[in-house]
Amino acid sequence: MKLPVTPDYTKTDLSRAMERIRDPAVLDAVFQENARYLHWDEIRRRKKYPADPLIIWILMKFFRNKNAHPITIGDRTFQYSLGDSCWKELHSLDKTAPETLSGSLDSTGPGREQYLINSLMEEAIASSQLEGAATSRQVAKQMLCSRRKPRNLDERMIVNSYLTMKAVRSLTKEPLTPDLILRLHAMITSGTLDDSNNEGWFRDNDEIRVIDSSGTVLFTPPSHSKIPQLIGALCRFANEEQDEFMHPVVKGIVLHFLLAYIHPFNDGNGRCARVLFYWFVLKHKYWLFEFLAISRVIKDTRGQYRKACLYTGSDGNDLTYFIRYNLGVIGTAIKELQQYIREQQEEQNEFSLMIREREEITLRQSDMLRQFMQHPEKPVTLSEVMETYQVAYGTARSDLIHLADAGYLEKRKSGKEIIFVFKGIPPKVTRTNSK
């Protein structure tokens, strides 16, 4: 692929641009394109400007740089500039989305815990697929639900990601340190690297390159000799308050980019960077992210993800491209969660109508039965119920036995394991008072 570049321009070009800075038509084009935060790669292809595209670009950069916030990590300088659309999305993350979703999460089926487990599974699967795990979502989810041991490296990647995502919640009271980054990497790569000695260790070579499917080198990371300095600066950036306010979600996105940019590991950099973002936003009490499958949206828009990274690197390390892309991803993930909740509510309401007079069924058992009805051919184990609903062995067994005794399920033995299969909805027994 052809890598994006930004143009060099002379003092004469700059003078020509400044001569047009008061032209209303030119300014209108500049502000419109800056609102969309287009890259030169897109500007240069457009023909209907009131001035040369280079003039438009120079003035776009002039106004961007006036509003830019610099970030220094070691010997590297980055910057970003947020417009109204970004602040609108951030305001939604602070207020509207949590308030809207909080009640919805509690009002459907067994509530938050099942949504949480589902989102952690979706995130773990998509994050691993982004890094090449060739396992279908359906097979992977069944493996996680049933607690089946992984059969190959691809499945091992998914299990690692899932267990790491679950563990992250207990690590949010710690400051970010090189040791914590190494621990996260060791958890997420355990048993999946060609050389196990690379698990939880920074790379000691400069052989790493990021390439595309055609073999084009997209990115060459900093030298391994710079890693200790850059990781130390990254940790200070994460732990310390900056002179200017930086929204925590934006800071988490920047941490995601910076870890991928430093590329401190021989493998697993992408997975570790996404886990670092997740850790940071949870540390700052953005509980909503526990329920969002961010990596699934990234996987579906991986071309845009790659473009955002390349645009950032080709335009003077301007992180705005990457930030805007990720805010869009988060917005999409929220919409997907809202749609998923609506669908679950509709299914739950329909099912409740069917069994509303069956007093022997609890809310959790009702939801379990609904899952059985959706996949009547699929046997379910105690382990799967324990993992899906985050309940103890005794509770899972009690629920399944109760549904079996009531005639909804059939209890069978498969080898040494007890399984339950769906039988159907038994006729309702009408109780009459004897005289």
DSSP per position, 108-158: STT-HHHHHHHHHHHHHHHHHHHTT----HHHHHHHHHHTPPP-SHHHHHH
Rounded CA gap, 377 and 391, in Å?
24
Do both 100 and 163 map to the same domain? yes
Residue 298 has pLDDT above 80, yes or no: yes
Do both 62 and 95 map to the same domain? no
Question: Cβ neighbours of residue 435 under 8 Å, at least 6 residues apart?
Answer: none
Do both 179 and 258 map to the same domain? yes
Do both 146 and 180 map to the same domain? yes
**Tokens 């473009």 found at:** 307
Do both 28 and 166 map to the same domain? no
Do both 90 and 223 map to the same domain? yes
Instruction: Report the half-sphere exposure of 199 (CA within 13 A, side-chain side).
Output: 14
Last residue of a domain, one of 277, 303, 338: 338
Do both 36 and 124 map to the same domain? no
Q: Mean per-residue pLDDT for 275-292?
A: 94
pLDDT of residue 432: 44
- Give the lowest-confidence range in 88-92, 101-105, 118-122, 250-254: 101-105
Residue 210 located in a structural domain: yes
Looking at every residue in the chain, the average pLDDT score rounds to: 89
- Give the lowest-confidence range in 22-26, 144-148, 285-289, 315-319: 144-148
Do both 403 and 296 map to the same domain? no
In terms of residue numbers, what domain contains 58?
11-66
The total of other beta-carbon atoms located within 10 Å of residue 43's CB is 18
Do both 151 and 179 map to the same domain? yes
Do both 148 and 189 map to the same domain? yes
Last residue of a domain, one of 338, 367, 385: 338
Rounded CA gap, 216 and 222, in Å?
18
Give 318's strand partners: 79
**Tokens 């607690």 found at:** 147
**Tokens 């998509």 found at:** 126
Residue 397 located in a structural domain: yes
Residue 202 located in a structural domain: yes
Per-residue pLDDT tens over the stretch 123-178: 999 999 998 898 899 899 889 988 899 999 999 999 999 999 999 989 999 999 99
* 3-class DSSP assignment, residue 419: strand
Residue 349 located in a structural domain: no
Q: Calculate ∠ Cα 71-221-309, nearest 5°.
A: 60
The CATH number given to whatever domain includes residue 414 is 1.10.10.10
Backbone angles phi, psi at 60, to 5 degrees: -60, -45
Rounded CA gap, 140 and 122, in Å?
9
* Percentage of residues of the chain with pLDDT beyond 70: 94
Do both 91 and 179 map to the same domain? yes
Rounded CA gap, 146 and 378, in Å?
12
* Percentage of residues of the chain with pLDDT beyond 90: 65
Rounded CA gap, 128 and 151, in Å?
15
CA distances, 218 to each of 157, 273, 328 (Å): 25, 18, 23
- Tally of domains within the chain: 3
Do both 290 and 367 map to the same domain? no
Last residue of a domain, one of 66, 87, 110: 66
